[in-house]
Structure formats: structure tokens, C-alpha cells
């Protein structure tokens, strides 16, 4: 039962991450949506697959190794992209002063 | 393995959802305002393709596809790092 809950959770997290990448205003917020949602979704979907499939233990260990690699690699690439974008002069468009926005 | 088995299996449904979100993300890759937007879209699509390959390995019971997914995520790491470094270097020299 827990594996189907994990599968549904991962699929909905993936859909939310794709919507965030489509709708957010600039590179940094899109990276925020991409990294968190994609890493979490991939993690839960792969763990659910390792629990569902009727396979030898070696195959399940391979799926867990793939999960570990995604968890290590995806934030590293996102950090490199954000660093390159900031060094090339792209400014964030997001509004940080939330108090001034709420109380004009 | 046939077409009607695809819609009664939870792994098949998850594969369809991931493919649909990948096609949604092609909008960001094609019409991104800047180059890092396109890189973000490509990175996300590659992660989704890795997950789709792992799910397909469980769905078809062809377990060598998991090795292929591990190789693809490593290539994605090297490619993403090199794209980011190239972007950084190119705009510093201008």
C-alpha cells in the first residue's frame, strides 16, 4: 500500500514542478521549482518502483544507487547553473520586500 | 507489454504522466527568454527521462535498462556542469 502512495505522491510532485517551471518569472525561481520538486519526485518514484517490482535484491539495490546518484547530482547541477547565471549578470525579478507590497 | 496493459498498471500511468509533463516543459526549452532557462528545462527533462527509463525497466521486466539510466544521469551531470561553466566563461570575456 505504501508503495502506491509514494508513486502517486511522486507523480503529483513532478506535475507541480513542471507547472512551477512554466509559470515562475525568472531563472532563480524556476531553479527553485525544478530542483526541489524534481529531486523529491524522482526519489519517491524510484523508491516506490524498488518496492513494487518482483525482482532480485541486486536490482533493487541498483534502483537505490540510482536514487542516491540523483539526490547527489541534481542539486549540484542546479547550483552550477545558478552560479553561472548570476555571474553572467542576470538579476532576479522577484519582489523581496513583502511588507511594502502588502502595506502600500 | 501491449497497449492495453499500459493503462491498468500504476507504473504505466506514472510513465504517461511523466511524458506529459516533459512535453509541457518543451515550451520552456523552446521559448526560454535566456539561455539558463533553456538549460533548466533540459536538465529537468533529462531527470524525468531517467525516471521513465527506470520505470520502464520495472514495467517490461527488462532489468538491464536500470544500468542505462545510471549512465544517463552521470552524462547529465557532466553535460550540465560543462554548459554552466561555458555560459559563465563566455559572458565574462565579453
| Assigned CATH topology for domain B10-93 | Helix Hairpins (1.10.287)
What integer is the mean pLDDT of A73-81? 90
Nearest CA in chain A to B31: A22
DSSP A27-69: HHHHHHHHHHHHHHHHHHHHHHHHHHS---HHHHHHHHHHHHH
- Of the candidates B10, B77, B92, the beta carbon closest to that of A7 is on B10
Closest listed residue to residue B12, CA positions, set B46, B50, B55: B55
Look-up: residue for cell 549540484?
A: A76
What is the count of structural domains for chain A?
A: 1
Length of chain A: 104
Residue B1 has pLDDT above 70, yes or no: no
Distance between CA atoms of residues A80 and B48, nearest Å = 19
* The predicted structure's pLDDT at residue B70: 92
The residue ranges of every structural domain in chain B are 10-93
CA of residue A45 relative to chain centroid, distance: 12
Residue A102 has pLDDT above 90, yes or no: no
Q: Is A94 inside a domain boundary?
A: no
Average pLDDT, chain A: 87
Contact B55/A21, CB-based, under 8 Å? Answer: no
Q: Is A103 inside a domain boundary?
A: no
Contact A66/B55, CB-based, under 8 Å? Answer: no
Per-residue confidence band for A87, with pLDDT thresholds at 50, 70 and 90: confident
Q: Is A104 inside a domain boundary?
A: no
What integer is the mean pLDDT of A80-98? 79
Per-residue confidence band for B8, with pLDDT thresholds at 50, 70 and 90: confident
Contact B36/A73, CB-based, under 8 Å? Answer: no
DSSP three-state, residue B94:
coil
Q: Is A44 inside a domain boundary?
A: yes
- For the stretch B43-94, pLDDT in tens is 999 999 999 999 998 888 888 999 999 999 999 999 889 988 887 776 555 4
* The predicted structure's pLDDT at residue A12: 92
Per-residue confidence band for A95, with pLDDT thresholds at 50, 70 and 90: low
Q: Is A96 inside a domain boundary?
A: no
Per-residue confidence band for B7, with pLDDT thresholds at 50, 70 and 90: confident
The residue segments making up the domain with residue A85 are: 2-89
- A49 in B contact zone (CB under 8 Å): yes
Amino acid at each position: 500500500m505504501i508503495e502506491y502512495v509514494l508513486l502517486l505522491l511522486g507523480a503529483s510532485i513532478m506535475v507541480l514542478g513542471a507547472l512551477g517551471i512554466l509559470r515562475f518569472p525568472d531563472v532563480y525561481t524556476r531553479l527553485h521549482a525544478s530542483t526541489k520538486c524534481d529531486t523529491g519526485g524522482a526519489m519517491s518514484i524510484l523508491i516506490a518502483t524498488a518496492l513494487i517490482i518482483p525482482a532480485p535484491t541486486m536490482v533493487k539495490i541498483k534502483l537505490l544507487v540510482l536514487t542516491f546518484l540523483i539526490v547527489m547530482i541534481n542539486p549540484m547541477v542546479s547550483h552550477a547553473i545558478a552560479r553561472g547565471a548570476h555571474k553572467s549578470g542576470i538579476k532576479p525579478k522577484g519582489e523581496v520586500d513583502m511588507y511594502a507590497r502588502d502595506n502600500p | 507489454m501491449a497497449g492495453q496493459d499500459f493503462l491498468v498498471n500504476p507504473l504505466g500511468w506514472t510513465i504517461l504522466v511523466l511524458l506529459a509533463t516533459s512535453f509541457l516543459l518543451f515550451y520552456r526549452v523552446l521559448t526560454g527568454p535566456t539561455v539558463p532557462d533553456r538549460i533548466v528545462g533540459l536538465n529537468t527533462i533529462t531527470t524525468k527521462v531517467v525516471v521513465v527509463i527506470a520505470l520502464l525497466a520495472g514495467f517490461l521486466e527488462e532489468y538491464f535498462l536500470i544500468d542505462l539510466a545510471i549512465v544517463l544521469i552521470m552524462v547529465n551531470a557532466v553535460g550540465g556542469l560543462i554548459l554552466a561553466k561555458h555560459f559563465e566563461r563566455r559572458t565574462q570575456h565579453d
